[in-house]
Structure formats: structure tokens, C-alpha cells
Amino acid sequence: MFKKILIANRGEIALRINRSCQELGIKTVQVYSEADKYSMPVRLADESVCIGPAPSLESYLNIPQILSAAEVTGCDSIHPGYGFLSENPYFAEVCETCNIQFIGPSKEAILLMGDKAKAAGIQVVPGSKTVIKDEGEAKKIAHKIGYPVLIKAVAGGGGKGMRVVWSGDSFENVFNTCQTEAQKAFGNPDIYIEKYIENPRHIEFQVIGDKKGHVIYCPERDCSIQRRHQKLVEETPSPALNGKLRKKMGKMAVKVAEAIDYHTVGTVEFILDPKGNFYFIEMNTRIQVEHPITEMVTGIDLVKLQICMAAGEELRLDQDEISFQGHAIEVRINAEDPEKDFIPSVGEVKEFIVPGGPGVRVDTAIFAGYQIPPYYDSLIAKLITHGRNRKEAIERQKRALREFRIEGVKTPISFFQKIMNEEDFLKGNYNTSYLYQKKLS
């Protein structure tokens, strides 16, 4: 097992990783930018190292500084969290060269995931087979598969670097915007194209694999409630799946992971059309923002498992041992103003009182007096509720949202309260266009 892990991330996920490390008896080194000097992850880690100024490119995306910090503090592994360098194949490779274990998949698994999945006979959404650099080539492919098409950043996530193009007229503009956005957000301008399926549900499966090739899946997460491709509400299990479909999709998810010799935690994402057809869209080779809902229903600590798998331990869980208890829902509380088109709201958090009681979990790194820096994403807390059934999980969301007190910055708490009372949501009747159709975004 590892002795010391460097946490190359910030905010709530850095704290989340630190917690699992503490429980495993592993020392932690938190790297941070000057903007995060007084943050909770820095305070709670065993050691900390400042790696640069506030902008991500000079700190959390600065590979030489991070590796140097790992070296001078004697870390044997690096946990990248989500975003930043978590799915950067070059970083995974450099870590290996430096004899530092990257807690995530191999460079090959990140790079070849899509191709190998197709080779393994997994049904995918029609689109470009590889990264497209040239605008002309991209347009040809878009014509071939037919509009609307979706342009996505290879290193993407969280809705960044992703755009729908409805016709050939606006293609060039959108293509360039996507490349610029991808470069800015992830330091990698590579993008690809796929057919855009209208009104689907976004269903994803958590997979866990070890180095001996043993892979299992956890029940699905329904992440269909999105605003501009950014997930806002996630729940497990999905109201749209029955046992039969769950098993079919879960087996497919395992097949994807097996095709790339996947030996860590990951998420296989599908889109499910209203007729029940599903297509593999991508695999996220990292721990995800919404992982807590799976933890709540399965009782598994996914971050702990991820660390153990990276250390080469055997996965001592069989598929038939994975069962889910009840229902869990997560809402993402960002510092943004729902009344003003969700513009980011930075500044000092003057009051911060988190809800509690049965079935409530809050993952956050915020405290009263915290200054939200303008340089990073606006996620300030994840509110997760767990109930014996969907109804109870929703009632707990309503109750917890009422208890949550955040003063000083704007948050979408009232927006989530509307969703938790909305008729179609209560019936489980929604898809990725839900917020747009209900005029909630």
C-alpha cells in the first residue's frame, strides 16, 4: 500500500480524497495555488506545498511543479481527483517515468478507450473515430453522420468544450469556440464529433476493476438533469430502468472496461433514447463528482477502492455482492445566480450552515468567512440525500435545502427546491432537455 499520496486537486474533492487516505493510514501532501493558501484541504492534509499562482495553468495544471512537489515530499503516488490533470495521458505517462504511481488508468487506457470499445462490439453513437484537428475534415464528418452533431473536447467534462451544432452554417464558429475552450480549460485542444441524439436520458455505470482483470459494476446513476451539458441533479437508481435493462447495460459497461484492461474506478456513460435503445458515449477514467450517490446506496467507499486498486490490491467483491439499498439524490450547489442566467457569484461566504440529520451528506470545503476565488469552477457543495425509497430521498432533499444557509454569495438552492416539487420530476419523467422544456434554465 502507498505511504504518502500527493493530492493534485482542490476544493471538496481534495478533502474527499484526504478523508479516505486518513482512514487507510496513508499520509497526504496537498498542493495548492496561492489563492488556496487558507483552504480546508491545505489545513487538513498532513503536509502542503504551494505550487504556483492562482491561474490553473500555472498551478493545478503545472506538471513540473506538481512532480517536483511529489519528489521533495517523498510521495509514492498522486491522486488527481477530477478535472485538471485527471484524464491527461501525458501526465499519467510522466508519473510512470518518475516512478510515481498515478491513481488512475494507464496512458493507453485513456487514449485508446473509444477505439477498443468499438472493436469490442459495443454500440456507439455514430461519429468521428479519432481526434479531429482540421475544420474541413470535421465538417465532412458532420455532413456524413447528419445534423444535429455534438462537438466534444477529448479531455472534457462538466460541460466544458461541448457544443451542439444544428446545421452546417454555424459549424465553423462552434468548432473554433470548442477548440479554444478545450485549450483554456484542459490545456488540450483535441476534439471529436458525434451524432446528437435528441431527448435522451444520460445513464452512467460505475465500474471497478483490479489488475487481474476482475471488473464489476454498481447500479446506474441518472444524470439527465443538466444545464448546458453540466449535470445539476443526479440520482440512483434511475426511474427509467428496470432490473432487466440495468443488467444488460451493466454488463455492457463491464465489457467496455474489460476491453481496455481497466484496473481502477471509472464511469461508463450511455445515452438512452425514449425507445430504450442505448449507446455507449464515453468512459470517464476518473472519480466523478457524483460518486457519493453510489456510495450511499452501496455502502462502498469508492475513493478507498480506487486507491487500493492503484496499489495493486485484489478486488474482493463479486458482482452478486453488489446490492443497492434505497435511493440517493445529489444536487450540485454552485456559487451562481439562478436569477441572472447562473452567472458565477464570487466573494466572501458570510454564513455557511450545512443541513444534517438522517440520510443527509454534504461534501464541501467551504466555511463561513471563506473567500471564493474567481479562478476555478463554482462548485461549493454537494448535497446528497439517501432514503429507503425515491420519495423519502426527495423529501429529505426538500428538508435539507430548507436547512441550508449560505449567505454572501448567490446559490441555486431555490432553483433546486422548484425541481423537488415539480410534477414531472416527482414522476421520474424527464430527459436531458428537462430544464429547457420546463423553462427552468
Residues 6+ away with beta carbon under 8 Å from 439: none
Span from 41-49, 107-115, 199-207, 313-321 in contact with another protein (CB under 8 A): 41-49
The nearer residue to another protein, 28 or 206, going by C-beta atoms, is 28
3-state SS assignment for residue 205: strand
Tell whether residue 326 is a contact of another protein (CB under 8 A). Answer: no
Q: Which of 50, 124, 164, 245 binds another protein (CB under 8 A)?
A: 50
Q: Burial code of 78-94, b = ≥16 C-beta within 10 A, e = fewer?
A: bbbbbbbbbbbbebbbb
Catalytic residue among 221, 286, 332, 361: 286
User: Among residue numbers 154 through 213, which ones bind another protein (CB under 8 A)?
Assistant: none
Tell whether residue 108 is a contact of another protein (CB under 8 A). Answer: no
Strands in 118-179 per DSSP E: 149-157, 160-165
The nearer residue to another protein, 65 or 288, going by C-beta atoms, is 65
286 is catalytic: yes
Work out the burial of residue 341: count CB atoms within 10 Å of its CB; fewer than 13 is exposed, 13-18 middle, 19 or more buried: exposed
* Beta bridge partner(s), residue 272: 201, 278
The nearer residue to another protein, 8 or 193, going by C-beta atoms, is 8
CB contact at 8 A, 352 and 370: yes
Helix 11-24 crosses helix 302-310 at what angle (to 10 degrees)? 70
Which grid coordinates belong to 404? Answer: 441550508
The nearer residue to another protein, 6 or 384, going by C-beta atoms, is 6
Q: Which of 22, 73, 183, 433 binds another protein (CB under 8 A)?
A: 73
Cα 68 from Cα 22, distance rounded (Å) = 23
The nearer residue to another protein, 30 or 284, going by C-beta atoms, is 30
CB contact at 8 A, 94 and 106: no
Phi and psi dihedrals of 265, rounded to 5? -90, 150
Tell whether residue 22 is a contact of another protein (CB under 8 A). Answer: no
Tell whether residue 68 is a contact of another protein (CB under 8 A). Answer: yes
Binding mask 205-224 for another protein (x = CB under 8 A): --------------------
Q: Cell match 449567505: residue?
A: 407
Cα–Cα nearest to 196, from 165, 169, 168 = 165
Residue 31 CB, shortest distance to another protein, in Å, is 8
3-state SS assignment for residue 412: coil
Binding mask 367-406 for another protein (x = CB under 8 A): ----------------------------------------
Tell whether residue 67 is a contact of another protein (CB under 8 A). Answer: yes
3-state SS assignment for residue 165: strand
The nearer residue to another protein, 53 or 158, going by C-beta atoms, is 53
Tell whether residue 115 is a contact of another protein (CB under 8 A). Answer: no
Residue 101 CB, shortest distance to another protein, in Å, is 17
Q: Which of 7, 8, 61, 69 binds another protein (CB under 8 A)?
A: 69
Tell whether residue 53 is a contact of another protein (CB under 8 A). Answer: yes
In terms of residues, how long is the chain? 441
Q: Any idea which residues carry the catalytic annotation?
A: 286
Interaction site with another protein (CB under 8 A): 34, 47-54, 58-59, 64-65, 67-69, 71-73, 98
